[in-house]
Amino acid sequence: MAPLVVLAVVTALARLIGWLAGPDWLDSWPHAVALGLAAMFALTASAHFLSPRREALVAMVPPNLPNPAALVTLTGVLELAGAAGLLIPATSKLAAAALILLLISLFPANIRAAKADLGIKTMPLPLRTLVQVLFIAALGVVLFA
């Protein structure tokens, strides 16, 4: 739930700052959403590297995939790269598209965490699915702006 809160708060603050004081770049929803998404992905990426959350993410990786620890590290790096890409106007649309694909490809791990008894505290699958759709919709705001 923390990533959703970060997305909402940073987006709202960025939009408010843009509306009240400039800079002009923040005086648009797509740019404010891009900033909120960048903050959110920086937060979620940190979990890929820091205990105890890293261990939980490794446990979520479906068992048929090789080297779960390396995959968790790779996805953390991809999330950080995507967060940076969202902040660069020339790459923001590409980053948004890549992050949409990443979220879709990682969703089976969320299903596994919700259904399997892994000892991981997770959202119920319907709520997690809704949150995932909201993240993808926010990325769509950047992609199609």
pLDDT value at position 119? 66
Q: Does pLDDT of 131 surpass 70?
A: yes
Question: Does 21 or 118 have the greater pLDDT score?
Answer: 21
- Compute the distance between CA of residue 56 and CA of residue 48 in angstroms, rounded to an integer: 9
As a whole number, mean pLDDT of residues 123-139 equals 93
As a whole number, mean pLDDT of residues 62-73 equals 94
- Compute the distance between CA of residue 140 and CA of residue 61 in angstroms, rounded to an integer: 26
As a whole number, mean pLDDT of residues 39-53 equals 94
pLDDT value at position 40? 98
Condensed to tens digits (0 to 9), the pLDDT of residues 80-127 reads 999 999 999 999 999 999 999 999 999 998 888 888 777 667 788 899
Question: Which H or E run contains 125?
Answer: helix 125-143
